[in-house]
Structure 1
Amino acid sequence: MERTYTIHDLFAALRRRKVIALVVSVIVLATGAAIALLTPAEYTASSTVQIEPRRLPVDFFPAQGVAPFEDRMRTIKHGILARPVLEKVVKETDFFPDLRGDLDQAVEKLRRQVEVRLEGEVPGGPPALLFVVEVRGADPRKVKAAAELLPRFYEQMTREVLASQARALRETLDAQTTEMSKALADHERKILGFKLEHAAELPEMIDTNARAAARAQALVEMHLSAIADARRRRNTVLASIPEGPSAPGMSEAALDAAQRRVQAAEAAYGPQHPDVRRARRELDEAKGRRDEEVEGYRKGRVAEQLARLDEEVSEHQQALTGLQAELASYQKRVEAAPRWGQELAARSRDYEVLRAKYVSTVSRRADAAAAEQLLAADGQALFRVIEPALAPTRPSAPDRGRMLLLALLASVAAGLAAAGLAEWLDGSMRGPEDAAALGVPVLAAIPRIGPRSHAS
């Protein structure tokens, strides 16, 4: 069975193994003290920087306009620890003289020795606008310079990026504006040509064309009425007979008188009587005079009136023909208005879309130019150093007193462990208890003889 050790046994074992425990403790203590004393001192410098609350337009720099504050701070941290910034700091300060030929390793080593953290943030409250750049290193002057240069170089890089973005955006918008201006001018020229070509057939001319058509229709009706009146008067002229007092009327009366005389002579004397034949001759002469007078009357008066009436009818018919053509033209314009209106609306719709895009692009170009000018005029306005870095006078690490205390505790623990291990590995029997553990009965025990220090 296993033996149970008492406190007395433990102290007895420690006395037996005190040399081993002391040697191991001294070795561990010496090693810890050497490490604590020989570890090079490390200095820490930090600078507190405030982010300027003014932001550039959202459309151009969304990372500064609409990004959450946590993402923005994460962006700042990665930006400060970016390789171009660290390279410039390493070259500017000669931070690692022993790594001048290995820039990659120097950058990685410096990145491990730089910390960027928020400052003054309250849980549940508004986000802080401060961040701290802390640099650790062996040279106090270099860590101070690095803590100052890191935010400055990052600001320069950020301003260069923002300025290049604003310049590239402005140049792009300038090109787009010029192109859209030419397209707008071409659309305007086409729309103007279309309006000039179909000026009388556009929808806005429907009322004008309708009024003109109504006026032409009224004139047509007026000319038709005038033609009907002229034809009526012509028929009246054709049906008119010469007046009694006129020469044709008198010749007509003489003819009637001659006819009555012939009839009276025939009734009184018979057809062959000389008076009858004379009356017949007078009748023929009267008829000839009547025909001459009637013909002269017709040629002198009726024909002239008929010619004047026919000319009037012809004039009215010519005007009527022109008015009918004009009326047909107005009706054609009214009928064509919807089709040309639809085509003009399609052209105008494309023009308005392009014009709205042009106005928006011009506005964005003005904003881009303003952002570019703002970046050029603001100077160092992205960050503001609240607490500049100071050269540390005392090292921040290592804590030599703490290291020595830890070395002392470790030496004590190592000595006890070495003594316990040596005791556990020793198979000697030192009393009845050890023999009883082997299952052998003890007959007698010989007391200690001689000094305790020589006992085995």
Structure 2
Amino acid sequence: MQLVARHKELYVLCALVIMTVVFAVSYLLPRKYESSSTVFIEKNVISELVKGITVTPSMEDTINVLTYAITSRALLTKTMESLDMNLGKEANNEELIKELQKNITVKVKEKNNLFIISFVHSDPRISRDFVNTLVRLYIEQNTSSKRGESYDATKFLSEQISAFNVKLQKAENDLNAYKREKGGIISIDEGKLFEEINLAQQKLYDLELRRRQLEGMRQATRKANDPLQSKLLALQKRLDDLRVQYTDSYPEVLTVKSDIETVKEQLKARKGAEPQPLDPQELAKIESEVTALKNAEAGLRRYISQSKQTLQSIPTAKAGLAKLEVERENQKKIYDQLYSRHGQSEVSKQMEVQDKSTTFRIVDPAVLPVKPSSPNRLIIMLAGILAGVAGGLGFLALRDQLDGSVKEVSMVKGLGVPVLAVVPRMLDLPQALKLRRRSLRIFAGAALYFLLLLVFPAMELLDLPYMDRLLDHLAPVSQGIKGMMH
């Protein structure tokens, strides 16, 4: 405050100079115009009606890649070519694309399915045309790419359906041929065949037992045709038959054993008796029955052997059939899925062709901006006023620090020099009045100048474009001067 009081004229002039420089800079900064377009991602009602029948791109996926798609190099290059922005700048095409990407802003509102595309440029017409062209090309590219994908998907599915139809027919033919070749084995019931083999083996055992009995009878008949001997053979046969079904402790088995012992005792008592003559008819009958039993045994053995081989081949045959059936089912399943997807693809293609799926509707196209978006002169000027106030103080403080003259007695005492006397600052009255009048004139002029400076923020606040018009008129003159200097 003491510095301001001592150097108030200098403080005011310094503050006004800083304000003037900031105000001038606010008008000399290049003007940037921002244009924006609002696009609504609209989902058609038909999409909900055919939900599950068609396959359409997800709206969430479209929104997620929106920023990258709009600022892509390919799309920006097309937009520049449409507006002839790259004429004569082919060498700096990469830098121009980076500059455009930096000036493009995409704001996405996922809840409302809206996105806003903004672009900043020094020319308001280029700013407007660039945004509208960029949005138009993006919508066209998005629509054409979805149509192309639908056509490619339908074509691919048609090719796969044809290929899998051939594979399915081959699998069907292989399965039918295998059934014709192995049908007899496959149709056999393993459990029933196993039972038949067991029954055949039991029957074979019975036949062998019967044959051995007859062979024993034949030997006995050849030795003697004795009634006791015949009775013994009959009892022996009966005992063998009973042992097949019962144990030795069975009552009837015990009875037959007792009868056999009795006959044997009678034969021993009659030892030395002459044998009876041989009966040829009885022997021939036994021989005939033994031959028939041997033939029956041979047939049963062939049947058992063939049945066992068949039983062993059934699992292999059924495994081969199951493998062919699984292959046929897999091919059929894939074919059915492809056929179903092909129908969905056809409907999806028609929806894309007729724009019945997700569509982009331009809610608010870009218009010619009248007021520049930057620089914000009002904010810069207000900041300049504050900078003038603070800068004046800083200038006085710096000037005071650089001034090496003695300002206080304590400063001299700090040097260790004895102070002999202090002479106060004295001004005569005429000189004081003269300085006061000069200060009043300076303050009055500064106040008027400050009021003049306040006119510029007021014009910005009231949106009066007088200074912009003046700068536009002076722009050709400054360009001409620059050209002459070059």
Q: Same fold by TM-score, threshold 0.5 exceeded?
A: yes
The alpha-carbon distance between structure 1 residues 433 and 200, as it changes in their structure 2 partners (threshold 3 A), is closer
What is the distance in 1 between the residues matched to 2:70 and 2:348? 23
Structure 1 57/150 Cα, relative in aligned 2: closer, same or farther at 3 Å?
A: farther
Q: For 1:183, which of 144, 148, 167 is the aligned residue?
A: 167
Inter-partner Cα distance in structure 2 for 1:146 and 1:13: 58
Look up the match of 2:368.
Answer: 391
Could you tell me how far apart the structure 1 residues matched to 2:357 and 2:28 are? 43
Q: For residue 381 of structure 2, what is the aligned residue in structure 1?
A: 404
Equivalent of 1:145, from 129, 133, 137? Answer: 129
The one-letter code sitting in structure 2 at the alignment partner of 1:199 is: G
Asked if residue 11 in structure 1 is aligned to residue 1 in structure 2, the reply is: no
Q: Aligned residue for 2:279?
A: none
Q: How does 1:149-228 map to 2 (within 5 A)?
A: 149-202=133-186, 204=187, 206=189
Aligned residue in 2 for 1:102? 92
Whether 1:363 and 2:356 are equivalent positions in the alignment is: no
Q: Is the partner of 2:65 in helix, strand or coil?
A: helix
Answer yes or no: is 1:349 the counterpart of 2:335: no
Contact 1:43–1:143 (CA under 8 A) maintained in structure 2: yes
1:11 is aligned with what amino acid? V
TM alignment of 1:23-172, pairs within 5 A = 24-53=14-43, 64=58, 69=60, 72-95=62-85, 99=89, 101-119=91-109, 127-172=111-156
3-state SS of 1:50 partner: strand
Seen in structure 2, the aligned counterparts of structure 1 residues 63 and 351 have a Cα distance that, compared at 3 Å, is same
How big is the alpha-carbon RMSD for the aligned residues of Structure 1 and Structure 2? Answer: 4.4
1:58–1:92: structure 2 CA closer, same or farther, 3 Å change rule?
A: farther
CA-CA distance at 1:99 after TM superposition:
4.8
- 2: CA distance, partners of 1:50 / 1:444: 82
1:415 aligns with 2:392: yes
**8 Å CA contact 2:37, 2:132 repeated in 1:** yes
Larger mean CA deviation between 352-361 and 434-443 belongs to 434-443
When residues 367 and 59 of structure 1 are mapped into structure 2, their CA distance, relative to the original with a 3 A threshold, is closer
Find the aligned partners of 1:433 and 1:326 in 2 and give their Cα distance.
139
Letter in 2 for 1:92: S
Between the aligned partners of 1:169 and 1:435, the Cα distance in structure 2 is 95
1:340 and 2:317 are equivalent in the alignment: yes
What secondary structure is seen at the aligned counterpart in 2 of 1:429? coil
For residue 112 of structure 1, give the secondary structure of its aligned residue in structure 2.
helix
Deviations 1:196-250, CA, capped at 9 Å, x for gaps: 2233333x4659x98xx9xxx9xxxxxxxxxxxxxxxxxxxxxxxxxxxxxxxxx
Q: Does the 8 Å contact 1:13/1:423 carry over to 2?
A: no
2:450 maps to: none
CA contact (8 A) 2:351 2:357 kept: no
Change (3 A) 1:43 1:199: same
Structure 2 letter corresponding to 1:441? V
* 1:411 CA drift (Å): 2.7
- Per-residue deviation, 1:336: 5.0
Q: Distance in 2 between matches of 1:60 and 1:109?
A: 41
- For the 8 Å contact 1:83–1:107, the answer to whether it is kept is yes
The count of aligned residue pairs is 334
**Structure number with larger C-alpha Rg:** 1
Amino acid of the structure 1 residue aligned with 2:34: T
The change in CA–CA distance for 1:444 and 1:190 in structure 2 (over 3 A counts) is closer
The aligned residue for residue 354 of structure 2 is 377
Quick one: distance in 2 between partners of 1:430 and 1:327? Answer: 137
Gaps of 5+ in 2: 201-297, 436-486
CA contact (8 A) 1:200 1:333 kept: no
CA distance in 2, matches of 1:448, 1:117: 69
Contact map agreement 2:4 2:393 (CA 8 A) in 1? no
Question: How far is the alpha carbon of 1:117 from its aligned partner?
Answer: 0.9
1:245 is matched with which residue?
none
Q: Does the aligned pair in 2 maintain the 1:177–1:361 contact within 8 Å? A: yes
CA shift for structure 1 position 74: 3.2
Q: Contact 1:435/1:442 (CA < 8 Å) preserved in 2?
A: no
* Structure 1: stretches of 5+ with no match in the other structure: 1-6, 122-126, 218-320
Map 1:191-270 to 2 at 5 A: 191-202=175-186, 204=187, 206=189
Per-residue deviation, residues 43-83 of structure 1 (Å, max 9, x unmatched): 22222111123569899979627xxx4x6533111111111
- Conserved? CA contact 2:161–2:339, under 8 Å: yes
**2:356 & 2:78 partners in 1: Cα distance?**
21
Of all paired residues, the percent bearing the same amino acid is 21
Paired letter, 2:108: L
Instruction: Please list the CA deviations of residues 120-149 of structure 1 after superposition, one character each: whole Å capped at 9, or x if unmatched.
Output: x6xxxxx22111112222233322222222
Q: For residue 422 of structure 1, report the CA deviation from its aligned partner.
A: 0.9
